[in-house]
Structure 1
Amino acid sequence: MSLEHTPPNNPPRLPAWLFPVVAMVAYWGLTQYLLTTGHLHEDAYILYIYAESLAHGNGIAYFPGGPPAEGATDFLWMIMLAGARYLGLDVAQAAGLLNGLGLAGIVWLAMRLLAPADRGYHYLLAGVLVTLYMLSSQIAQAALAGFSTALYGALTAALFCLLYAAPSRRTWLIPAVGIVLGLLRPDGVLMGVTATLLGAVIAWRQRELKPYLAAALACAAVGLAYFGWRYAYFGQLLPLPLYVKSTSVESLPGLGPHLDWLWSNRLLTGLALAALALHPRRGRMLAAAVPMLVLLLAFAFATQSQNAAFRFQAPGTIVLIMWAALLPQALAHRVRPTLLRRAAIVGLAVLALAATAQQASSGARIIRALQGNEYIYYFSYYLDRYLPPDTTIALTEAGRFAYWAQGKKYDLVGLNTAHTARHKVSPGYLQRLDPDLIFTHTAGMAHYDSMCQQDICELTPARALAGKRHGAHWQDVNYGVSRAPLAVLAHLEQHPDAYRVFAVRYYAGHDHLYLVKRSGRLAVDDFLRALGHSFTPEARRSYLDMKHTADFRGVFTR
């Protein structure tokens, strides 16, 4: 029967897959648009380095021939991207496909909570609102930047729904989803373990404890086997970024980001709290959210560096979305008269559109930032042609610069180098490393704007040292991001004649500092040639343009 001849009292039943598919296709279009017009986030490139290395047979290493390093915390995500790259698909496009599936999964699960039986006009309205919100949400924003956030969020949403609905004879899925979360991201372990304990209580009440415990023990065996393998392979108890991010100058470094996240989601938070207050199953709603709340509590004690689109709070965002999806049910339970119920639906739709517009505004800012024309997007791409494979590079910006440039690269912050992650960088370490090129972000530890009037400014060692923040000493700073530039300057003070020094404009200030060894493998003239070209309009290229251009030699294919 055609849509226009359908009787008003018998609305068409829309298929459950409609809006998830629409969300996935629309997100893929956004991904392609960004990759052809802009670039990925700095930290996303770090994981892509490991995926490329693994796909090309170099193992899980930061550079070909380098030691095994677990700087890629999203282990299962890295494996999936490496597999896609091995099959010939670009890693960023593979990430777009996987995140598109994740976004579709979140939409599907939210719709099951929001309209579990309805497939008519209310379902159509709900589907449009949920799809628009998810495409503009912080989940999608972080995924567009290159992170695993949407896929991670889909598994988090699945865990919430399993704990909320507690389906009989399917409780074994709780530890199964939990172990996948733990393999996908290390912080997922906290959610997985907490959910597995809650699932045991649910299974006990359903008299399904024995099969549940068997499934939980099997998942625990998988987790222990993975932990044993990774310790044997990497020689470290934890991924390197966890050592780095456990160090902070504050007692609760994650509290501020948590508050900022809640404020940025204030409309969604209001809808979620209203659902919690009105819903008759609020106790189950809270129980289903416990694993995510435990994670947020743990993150309050961690430094959330490079927290693009509040990606570390993504599990909390999922809770807010799932709670808000239950609000229509709560209103249906509380509001009986049909007229009032319709008014409530209209009010919810308006608030949902307002929340979508709020997120779309921040999403547009992130896309514009990734479409920027900062020199660092292109510099190492052009520098690579002048770098011998055995060039030694010490750096703090371990993402896009290291992705496009060959050489032996050592991260001074510790995200990819075990020594600096565990013992922190020092001038003695730099002396032993004897790098041909040192690249550091000054991180507020040195200031050169008053000395520099152009994009590229050469400094004498004395002037470079004069720009150091008064009273700052590397041995007094434990946080790697701040300690690294101070250690670099201390190394320069000990070897003032060994390097030529350049302060380079990055956004509004001269926050990038380069030390090029005079007798090193990289000629200073070649360095300046590539650097100067990176500031010209002719140098600007998108991620896919750089990947597909013939003169890209490929760091991991040599």
Structure 2
Amino acid sequence: MMMPEEARAEALRMFRKYVPWLLIVGALLLAAFRSARFGGYFPDDAYITIRFAEHLSQGLGIVWNVDGPPVEGSTSFLQTLLYAAAFKLGLSLAVSSYAMNTLGLASLVVILYLTIRNLTGRFDVAAALPLAMFFSGVAFSVHLNSGMETLIFLTLISASFLTSLVLLDRRTWTAALGLAVVNFFCLLCRPDAAPFIMGQGLVLAIVALRAWLTQANTLFIRQLAVSFAVLVAMGLTFLAWKYSYFGYVLPNSFYVKASDPLAFNGIQPVARFLGDMLWRIGLLVPLLIFVDWRFRGDHGNQVPARVALLVVPVAVFLAYYTTTLHLVGFFNRFEYPMAVFFWIGLSWLLSSGRSTERLQEFAGRALGSAGGRVLVAGVALCALAVQFELDSSRHQKWFSRIQILHYEPIADALARSEAGSDGTLVFDSAGYIPYVSGFSLIDPIGLTDNVLSGREPITPTEREQYIWGSDPDVYLGPVPAASAGAESGRDDPLVQSEYVQKILLQPVIFAEYDRIIGKMTYDERLEMLHIRMRELRDRWIAVGEIPYPYPSPEEYTHFLYVRRDSPHADRLVDELGRVTTRPIENIDFDNLLDGQRRHNLQSLRLLAQEH
């Protein structure tokens, strides 16, 4: 029979052993619950990668349109290859996506556990709690279910950090070559891993140079040089292949996202990301108060180098993103992978600083040892509960809403026309509709089109001539047809309407067009717009309005047009006419919301019954 002191020691041992994993498992169960409730629908950008992957799996190459030229328009080359391999094996889209993310999540859990053990030598409540907050956050579950590369990139970039720590500790050739391979896959997954890798290389180079100058270790600088030489060699080989295949090196997405670096157009989303991280970390203030800031752990004078490896690459990465134009920023999509390093740092600080033990000891003076443990558990549960409550209103079915209420009826109508890849759609959003309908697509922004991408200078007039000279069959977008007889924006009464002035001629609304119209004057924007308006008036049939589910501003909407001399015109007008909610000629563009009717689930069910 155990003595009281032995029982207390055993209770403490069990507490330290199992509670950390209970926190992690609980957080993962919450992520699984959110996946079951909100998953199954992907944002439009995911379908860009999926469409490229499908064509690759069919032996067409990395092309956007059937019989089109090679195009690199997806965010992640690696994920395109992974999806293509899954499709080649006969896996469905849903199975492919969730298999990738499940394997990625399992790998991430192991990587983060090994990282914390490397940094602190243990895995206790103080180390597990920040990771549990990371896994249970709303952004994590959204990205887990987005069908995009975010979780894969997050896993790879975490593996890069862990490998750099191992290299710093052990100074082995295996770790040096392993770092080169992991970083190469990071770049394959997202080319914007380059700033992170540069920051990492800078820190390791300083450590290696100091060791070489002090004769403490001359091997490390050779290992580091070989590691980055191997990385550069692999990278150059890949870029050479890309140039031979695509005819260019940087993917189209970089041209679309890029803006004048000195404009720092990315400061606002980066600041929003940092602000979100700040209040989440603030939930752990009760533990931060009890950190013993004198800790150095088992790593002695290596602590500054390890801190630099954690901080500098993240800082360089985020600094890079202050210079870019963000197009799709749901839950800070581009910055989000860096969030894991904030939680790693917090785990390291709380665990090595003995925060939970010190809080437990402090509370134990008044509450006893058992009461101290209960208080620590209470602080952990309260932090998780408050984060959950604050996140609960932010996790909505917005992926499914836009798909069900907007993309699906249009895609299904196009599919019923049986035009397939012979039909061409002009639409700024490039993913779901062409993937489901099989239509070819011209993306005016240039993400999936080499001519419109901005690689070669192209004037606004040339842009419009290229789009409409391709004889597309369907236009979906916010632009109405010009007034009868108007030959310029200056003599068109429709241009003076509230809708055109507030929606179409305000560049801030169409952020994705900033690269095209950001530096244009009002007159230049008007001229470009009216070219499109005259085109729609002179050669197109106005089918009707189909309101956008998430209008911002409120008056933003979409119209459907079919080219008069399209070989599929009759069938397209018939099918698309079923999904529009009112004729365009009935719209008062000074009061567009008057009489507007939006699709809802009931109206779409009735529409489906007709077919």
* Matches for 1:376-387 after TM superposition, within 5 Å: 376-387=407-418
**Is 1:327 the equivalent of 2:349?**
yes
1:176 aligns to what?
Answer: 181
Q: Residue 261 of structure 1: which of 270, 273, 279 is its match?
A: 273
Q: CA deviation at 1:251?
A: 1.4
In the alignment, the residues of structure 1 paired with residue 292 and residue 428 of structure 2 have an alpha-carbon distance, to the nearest angstrom, of 44
The alignment's C-alpha RMSD in Å is 4.1
In the alignment, the residues of structure 2 paired with residue 297 and residue 498 of structure 1 have an alpha-carbon distance, to the nearest angstrom, of 47
In the alignment, the residues of structure 1 paired with residue 230 and residue 101 of structure 2 have an alpha-carbon distance, to the nearest angstrom, of 28
Moved more, 530-539 or 69-78: 530-539
CA deviation vs aligned residue, 1:448-474 (integer Å, no higher than 9, x gap) = 9xxxxxxxxxxxx97589542279499
CA deviation vs aligned residue, 1:49-98 (integer Å, no higher than 9, x gap) = 11111111111111221111100120011111111111111234322222
2:487 aligns to what?
Answer: none
**Is 1:229 the equivalent of 2:241?**
yes
Q: Residue 186 of structure 1: which of 182, 191, 195 is its match?
A: 191
- Cα distance 1:510–1:360, how it changes in 2: closer, same or farther (>3 A)? closer
Q: CA deviation at 1:260?
A: 1.4
2:547 aligns to what?
Answer: 505
2:437 aligns to what?
Answer: 405
**Is 1:142 the equivalent of 2:143?**
yes
* Matches for 1:279-294 after TM superposition, within 5 Å: 280=296, 281=303, 284-294=306-316
Q: CA deviation at 1:491?
A: 2.7
Structure-1-length-normalised TM-score: 0.79
Q: Which runs of 5+ in 1 are unaligned?
A: 449-460, 552-558
Which of structures 1 and 2 has the bigger CA Rg?
2
Report the 3-state secondary structure (helix = DSSP H, G, I; strand = E; otherwise coil) of the residue aligned with 1:515: strand
Q: Residue 569 of structure 2: which of 503, 515, 522 is its match?
A: 522
Q: Higher relative contact order by CA 8 Å / sep ≥ 6: 1 or 2?
A: 1
Check the 8 A contact 1:447/1:469 in 2, yes or no.
Answer: no
Q: Which amino acid aligns with 1:429?
A: Y
* Matches for 1:155-174 after TM superposition, within 5 Å: 155-164=156-165, 166-168=168-170, 169=172, 170-174=175-179
Q: CA deviation at 1:353?
A: 1.3
Q: CA deviation at 1:258?
A: 1.3
In the alignment, the residues of structure 1 paired with residue 268 and residue 326 of structure 2 have an alpha-carbon distance, to the nearest angstrom, of 10
Q: CA deviation at 1:219?
A: 2.0
- Cα distance 1:129–1:327, how it changes in 2: closer, same or farther (>3 A)? closer
Check the 8 A contact 1:111/1:126 in 2, yes or no.
Answer: no
**Is 1:490 the equivalent of 2:521?**
no
Q: CA deviation at 1:117?
A: 5.2
Check the 8 A contact 1:472/1:486 in 2, yes or no.
Answer: no
Check the 8 A contact 1:503/1:512 in 2, yes or no.
Answer: yes
CA deviation vs aligned residue, 1:266-293 (integer Å, no higher than 9, x gap) = 2334479958977644663233221121
2:587 aligns to what?
Answer: none
CA deviation vs aligned residue, 1:475-530 (integer Å, no higher than 9, x gap) = xx753488999846423325623112333311254421333212212332222124
Check the 8 A contact 2:203/2:308 in 1, yes or no.
Answer: no
In the alignment, the residues of structure 1 paired with residue 517 and residue 394 of structure 2 have an alpha-carbon distance, to the nearest angstrom, of 27
In the alignment, the residues of structure 2 paired with residue 49 and residue 413 of structure 1 have an alpha-carbon distance, to the nearest angstrom, of 17
**Is 1:314 the equivalent of 2:358?**
no
1:56 aligns to what?
Answer: 58
CA deviation vs aligned residue, 1:213-269 (integer Å, no higher than 9, x gap) = 323222221111111111111112311011111137991211111121122222334
CA deviation vs aligned residue, 1:20-72 (integer Å, no higher than 9, x gap) = 78877775665455455xx2111111111111111111111112211111001
Q: Which amino acid aligns with 1:148?
A: E
- Cα distance 1:153–1:447, how it changes in 2: closer, same or farther (>3 A)? farther
* Matches for 1:63-74 after TM superposition, within 5 Å: 63-74=65-76
1:195 aligns to what?
Answer: 200
Structure-2-length-normalised TM-score: 0.73
- Cα distance 1:362–1:182, how it changes in 2: closer, same or farther (>3 A)? farther
* Matches for 1:7-406 after TM superposition, within 5 Å: 7-8=10-11, 10-11=13-14, 27=31, 30-31=34-35, 33-36=37-40, 39-112=41-114, 118=122, 122-123=124-125, 127=128, 130-131=131-132, 133-164=134-165, 166-168=168-170, 169=172, 170-203=175-208, 205=211, 206=217, 207-247=219-259, 251-270=263-282, 280=296, 281=303, 284-332=306-354, 339-340=361-362, 345=376, 349=380, 352-354=383-385, 356-357=387-388, 360-361=391-392, 363-365=394-396, 367-371=397-401, 373-388=404-419, 389-406=421-438
